[in-house]
Chains A and B, each alone.
Chain A
């Protein structure tokens, strides 16, 4: 039996809700304030740095962005990031859709063992594969090409994507598949014409997650890429010379790294949160 809602209870409830909002607002500010600071700084001049980071720039200077883009070669890094992220996401999604379907719809000897092997891909850091990877790229003759940066990320994304899409297909209504099969649909048709359109939400989550992980990937690119093959995060981290000590230019570079992920995150935030939280242990 819930206790009676007396006047005092209502008042207490209101105070608690107000207090809850207070906590949330304070911690929301702590989470996004450093980001606001870096955006404001990216429009400032060097001499304005002595002011508080949260004052508005005296006049919004775009030169920091042009300096980063041309002078610090962020145009090349940006191009590289794009050239890597698109094939990784597209190829991984296709391969993961197929294997997720295969694991969800079939039982075959050794299927659990195979899944267990793929689980390693969810946990193993690139540090543990990097040297043999370097040698394999040499053997295949693709060292110092974009493929050396794309394929390893496809491989790791495939591991996550397989589990993600397998879970998705397992939740599909069995009747639909049965009906399609009765109607003479081939298995290939079941996958691409019936289940694929139904999998759009899961696939969208996969796309945004893989986009973020690939865009932010650091270790692999740091080791495998040199010069203009480097992506934005690595280019930013390895920036040397006169721009490296130029805080506003570094800030402008940081904003360039962040902005694409942030935009997609704001558009699809539910997908991000769901995906990251499921990334723990999912088998």
Chain B
């Protein structure tokens, strides 16, 4: 299906223009396109694009947020490079990638490999249920898990009940275990998404590929490795992007779960650090440099994946 671009690719276009030159506004009228786009674009420029440029500009200034900004070049970025807190925060973001991205994807792949490939009854119910953590407000997810992880909370109660009382810990307050506790909440949010994606993907793979593999004597592991995995490439990519970016952007969940990065700074993440520098520590310029760095990482990863995807499409097309 052709789109209706006004480059004259469709022969009927010129015909129509000749036919009704007066009443019909042809699609090649370029100023008209702007009229459709402009209203939203003005709002977008004012409240997204302009502020991005503003943030980039402030990141080059020493600025409390109240004082007149003083231009200092890339000093904020240089400081960022040496800042222990920032390293810790970025490090935690990538630590959370293990929980947000790696564990759900591996778990999803493992479970799908065990599952039947035939279409099952009642899939809609499972799909709906498994996706619930995705639509819940992260604030509520945080409140639920903070309560579950409480010292006298349900998790420790259960541990006592099954005779593992020596495992009891103040999970979110423990310097060693808090990052794992926060991370595991991330895994809980993301695993359903991966399962649904992979299950739908594997059902779309042509059954003949498996039959051929079986004829050639492939065992189940080889079938998974040589048929399922390549067939799921697209789904793995989507799961990777979505979960990776949530791990980098996480804010609300940490804000609520560990009240913004505790104990100490064990679970601090970049977005929390941006918030603290900008609004609590009166270092708006420095906070801006952090925000720009974080946004750059996110955009770079998205761009890389997009490039990978389009390259894949090209190779598939040929």
Which A residues are within 8 Å of any B CB, using their own CB? 1-3, 13, 16-17, 19-21, 23-24, 27-28, 30-32, 34-35, 37-38, 41, 50, 52-53, 95-96, 98-99, 101-109, 111, 114, 117-118, 120-125, 127-133, 135-136, 151-152, 154-156, 158-159, 162, 170-171, 173-174, 177-178, 181-182, 184, 186-187, 191, 212, 215-216, 218-219, 222-223, 232-234, 236-237, 247, 250-251, 254, 257-258, 261-262, 265-266, 269, 272-273, 276-277, 279-281, 283
Contact = CB atoms under 8 A, between A and B. Distances in A.
Contacts of B291: 125, 127-128, 130
Interface in B154-190: 154, 157-158, 188
B143 A254 contact: yes
A218 B48 contact: no
B58 interface: yes
B263 interface: no
B36 interface: yes
B139 A218 contact: yes
Contacts of A3: 211, 214-215
A7 to B, nearest CB: 18
Contact of B132 (A31, A155, A181, A277): A31
B48 A186 contact: no
A212 to B, nearest CB: 6
A269 B128 contact: yes
B145 A171 contact: no
A166 B176 CA distance: 48
Between A132, A191, A236, the greatest number of chain B beta carbons within 10 A of the residue's beta carbon is seen for: A132
11 contacts: A3-B211, A28-B130, A37-B144, A114-B41, A125-B251, A128-B294, A154-B47, A159-B48, A174-B10, A269-B127, A269-B128
Interface residues of B toward A: which range? 35 or more
B36 A98 contact: yes
Interface of B: 1-7, 10, 12, 16, 19-20, 23-25, 27-30, 32-37, 39-41, 43-44, 46-55, 58, 65, 111, 114-116, 118, 120, 124-140, 142-145, 147-148, 152, 154, 157-158, 188, 191-193, 195-197, 211, 214-215, 237-238, 241-242, 245, 249, 251-252, 255-256, 271, 274-275, 278-279, 284, 287-288, 291-292, 294-295, 298-299, 302, 305-306, 309
Given A106-B6, A123-B298, A174-B3, A99 B114 contact: no
Contacts of B140: 38, 233, 236, 254, 257-258
Given A96-B40, A158-B43, A27 B6 contact: no
Contacts of A184: 20, 23-24
Contact of B47 (A21, A128, A133, A277): A133
A186 B6 contact: no
A213 to B, nearest CB: 10
A125 B298 contact: yes
B48 A120 contact: yes
B114 A19 contact: yes
Contacts of B132: 31-32, 35, 262, 265
Contact of A280 (B124, B157, B238): B238
Contacts of A136: 46-47, 50-51
B247 to A, nearest CB: 13
Nearest to B278: A131
Given A38-B144, A127-B274, A237-B255, A117 B49 contact: yes
